[in-house]
Chains A and B, each alone.
Chain A
Amino acid sequence: MTSTDNGIATGKALTVTLEDVSFSYGEASFRFNTEFAAGRIAAIMGPSGSGKSTLLNLIAGFERPDTGKVLIGGIDLGNVPPSARPVSMVFQENNLFAHLTVEANVGLGRSPSLKLGDADRAAVAEALARVGLAGKEKRLPRELSGGERQRVALARVLLRARPVLLLDEPFASLGPALREDMLDLLAGIHAERKMTVLFVTHQPEDARRIGQDVAFLDEGRIAATGPADDFFDRSGPDAFRRYIGDRGGTVAGSQHIARKRT
């Protein structure tokens, strides 16, 4: 199996643990104490301002906890800078540098100084092919559609091969059909790589389609966690059912069909 340059083996999925983490940002304060199981896709849901992005930023290292620890695979990440963490992150937008080609944008995942050998270029091409962008190496981001840009970001995730993948509403600006395609692509990548995926979304359909677990955040805390199936049952937590409205119960029947591909 390959390993990233910080020596963390990527072959094995890793748990993500937040141990009594507290964090404050201006007026808002957050408190997280939870664990995300290795190799599973967790959908992170909750109202705006409930701390979904903050949770991801803490794990990625963009923010540091005031107190408590963030552990991945049992190792305390302390002051490890974002790029040295066993983590890749995909944002809603600005995942690509607008002036660099698709190939260079993906290649940055292999070498941050963009020194790419032939083997690296081949790996980039392979990753691009996997996300359905074969032959678009020389394009600039502005020549791509919104969906294609996020595919490029996923190709870079493939190349970096980190055991944890964080996605912060990555498909929020895409239309419904495109979003489903992207979710399936993500599920496919997960099936191959078995990384631990944390996936922030506002859409219950997204969570139902690929989410195996759900973590529901409310007012800076994790209000409920559990398998996705339980959440979308009528027995799901009340706060969560209020958040997603009536749809939770009524469409529950379709979830098994929708999730079959995972």
Chain B
Amino acid sequence: MQPRPDSRVTAGVIALAAIAGLIGGAFAGLMLEGAQDLSGAYAAFDGYLFRVARFTLWQALLSTLLSVAPALLVARALSRHRAFPGRRLILQLFAVPLALPAIVAALGILALYGRAGYFAGVFAGRGGGEWPGIYGLSGILVAHVFFNLPLATLLFLEALGTIPADQWRLASQLGMGARPAFRLIEWPVLRAALPGVAGLVFMLCITSFTIVLTLGGGPAATTLEVAIYQALRFDFDPARAVVLTLLQIALTFVVVAALTRLGANTVGDANLPVAPRRYLSAGRIESLLNAGLIALALLFVAGPMVATVVSGLQADLGRLAGEEAVRRATLTSAGLALLAALLSVSLSLALIAARRALALHRRAGSAMSLLEHAADTGAGFVLVVPPIVLGAGWFLALRSITDVFAVAPVMVVTVNAVMAMPFAIRAIRPAYDAASERHERLCLALGVAGWSRLSLIDWPSLRRPLATGFAFAMALSLGDLGVIALFGSDSVQTLPYLLLARMGSYRTADAAGLALLLGLVCLMLVVAADWLGREAKA
């Protein structure tokens, strides 16, 4: 069969080329820089480098342990008690950190446990002397657990939800107590989910930038990503940046490869599980223990959020809103996030459509072509190459050609767009494939193709999933402090960048006000995305 050149395949190839160009350009920048200064690159393999690498792994390992182990217990407790007032609310609250920009959370944690935080008085009174605040490893761990404990809990809860109701009926008929029920029914499911969840959390912690930048303190608590940023922005030591970047890529590559082996869900979005009827009721002591566990987790997760809101409201919001810099940053953020989301959704749609078209052209039974593989997993490469790495590569490549700070908008839009692609693809692909299943032959038979097909057939059935992907990509991009940390300057500032600047100059109240604004907008976008996705399924 000779398939006619399908415009969808062409669009997919262009999208893939754009992604490859973005990643390839970054690598080219790194390689050129490294080759120019080989001795400098060798010299960069010093004690500092190994300390940073060791700390990167160490904090990720600790964060994973501290997030996943309690999550196992909390998830089990929540799954044992299917109906108590506020359960739904707790689950929704656990989904909030997924939407919250890291810098907002960091600020909330500082407002709570920082040197001048709400708890400072309590801690100081007990320890005697002034509370130093939780900078350094402890700060990083608290923030990582704040993000990943709820995520892991939701993922484990989803796993527990897959236990067939019949098993529970059987267990209750056999009179199984809590302990054997855990050992025989719940643990096998949890253990199956454990490597994937732990791997995902480890991956998120190893590439975490904003948290470490804002809560880590000094050279003793620095990760590779933050070290790359410092090498470029402060020390201006390109050779060191190259070595750090290559090390980071090697590290993430190994982790992602291991994760793929384990079949982990590397995108890591969690659905709110619906509660099926349960047949095993918990005893009184167990209920009390569970209630305590849930309450603790709830306090831990809700604390920084409440602190964000309270300290944000104390800021002089009126004055902030009137400030020229804030207005400009808001407009810049909104514009860049809109463009990034638009680009992200377009690239995702191109890849999805190309993958589908290639799958349709392919004869049943024959193997996938290289192109189809690329369209299928192309966006996954982004996970191996964190935004800071992309940014660093381009920073090095562009600095000899042009003013790197002038290209900030382009870099922010493209890198954020590509970064959001795995999420956008998740939102769009099932709907696209289902619509194609219904419409493909009919469109062929009637000759509905190209623009007519896009506007008359595809757009109406994809409107909602596209909006979901768009809102999610926009929230991610709005809250991102990665590329902009490298490329930002006084002339191009986004809200997270401005927030960081205010934190740096100890204008804490301003920072709190901005964090509240940013957090609310991102939250609203993600709620909208979720709602649109739900309606689309119904």
Q: Which of A's residues lie within 8 Å of B, judged by CB? A: 25-27, 60-64, 79, 81-84, 87-89, 91, 94-95, 97-100, 104, 108-109, 112-114, 156
Contacts and interface: CB of A to CB of B under 8 A. Distances in A.
Interface stretch (B197-205, B220-228, B246-254, B456-464): B456-464
28 contacts: A25-B363, A25-B364, A26-B363, A26-B364, A26-B365, A27-B365, A62-B445, A64-B2, A81-B4, A81-B444, A81-B447, A82-B441, A82-B447, A83-B444, A83-B447, A83-B448, A83-B449, A87-B445, A88-B445, A89-B441, A91-B441, A94-B439, A97-B439, A97-B442, A97-B460, A98-B461, A99-B460, A112-B449
A85 B153 CA distance: 57
A84 B447 CA distance: 7
B438 interface: yes
A79 B5 CA distance: 12
Nearest to B449: A112
B4 A79 contact: yes
Contacts of A84: 447
Given A25-B364, A99-B460, A100-B456, A79 B2 contact: yes
Interface of B: 1-2, 4, 363-365, 438-439, 441-442, 444-449, 451-452, 456-457, 460-461
A83 B442 CA distance: 9
B496 to A, nearest CB: 39
B439 A114 contact: no
Contacts of B446: 83, 108-109, 112, 156
Contacts of B365: 25-27
Contacts of A79: 2, 4
Contacts of B449: 83, 112
Closest 10 CB pairs of A and B: A83-B447, A113-B452, A64-B1, A26-B365, A99-B460, A112-B448, A82-B444, A26-B364, A112-B447, A94-B438
B442 A62 contact: no
A156 B446 CA distance: 10
B455 to A, nearest CB: 8
Given A83-B444, A94-B438, A97-B439, 6 more contacts: A61-B444, A83-B447, A91-B442, A97-B460, A100-B460, A112-B452
B154 to A, nearest CB: 33
Nearest to B457: A97
Contacts of A113: 448, 451-452, 456
Contact of B448 (A25, A94, A108): A108
A62 to B, nearest CB: 6
Nearest to B463: A99
Contacts of A82: 441, 444-445, 447
B4 A83 contact: no
A88 B363 CA distance: 24
A114 B444 contact: no
A79 B447 CA distance: 14
A104 B439 CA distance: 15
B64 to A, nearest CB: 44
Nearest to B365: A26
Nearest to A64: B1
A94 B439 CA distance: 7
Contacts of B445: 60, 62, 82-83, 87-89
A62 B452 contact: no
Contact of B444 (A62, A88, A100, A109): A62
Contacts of B456: 97, 100, 104, 108, 113-114
Contacts of A98: 438, 461
A113 B446 CA distance: 10
Contacts of A63: 1
